[in-house]
Amino acid sequence: MAKSRYEPLVKLKKKALDTAERSLIAANNALSSATDKLSHAYDELSQMSLPTHGNVGEFTQATAMIHAQHQTIERCRLTLLSAQHQQHQMRERFKAAMIDFEKFKYLEVQEMNAALKHLKRQEEKMLDEIGTMTYKKEIL
């Protein structure tokens, strides 16, 4: 069967869809990693405690470590928000690519169906003509 005029576009849209899918997978992995890092940072914070006795230097050091852990948590939280935003963008890009691909795939199928219908009509005409010729030979 003849190639569709939409075939190159379908291939192009399929490549764009595959690229968008890979980007979405990467964004999902980044989101998962950011979530794990934030969870790990909270776990580390929960294990920290202030000394109940000792000198002021130990207390100051423990306070600085807790403060540093809070800063780490804040950085992880910002990274998580960024990863969520990136994932949302990649999901929208993937949806748009999927719609474009499906649109051109549908047009390609419609064109192929029309060509097939045309071929069937030509075959029917040819068979009718052969039948008519055979009938005329039998009469003569």
pLDDT for 128 equals 86
Query: Does 11 reside within a domain?
Result: yes
Determine the pLDDT at residue 102: 96
Please tell me the distance from the alpha carbon of residue 46 to that of residue 71, in angstroms, as a whole number. 14
Rounded (10°) angle between helices 56-139 and 7-47: 160
Please report whether residue 1 resides in a domain: no
Please, which contacts does 90-93 make with residues 24 or more away whose CB atoms are closer than 8 Å?
Answer: 90/20, 90/23, 90/24, 90/26, 90/27, 91/24, 91/27, 93/20, 93/23, 93/24
- Residue 122 structural domain: 7-139
Domain with residue 109: its CATH number is 1.10.287.1700
Report whether 27 contacts 83 (CB < 8 A).
yes
The verdict on residue 2 lying in a domain is no
pLDDT digits 0-9 by tens, 55-98: 888 889 989 999 999 999 999 999 999 999 999 999 999 999 99
Q: How many domains does the chain have?
A: 1
Determine the average pLDDT of the residues in 102-120.
93
In a domain, 47, yes or no: yes
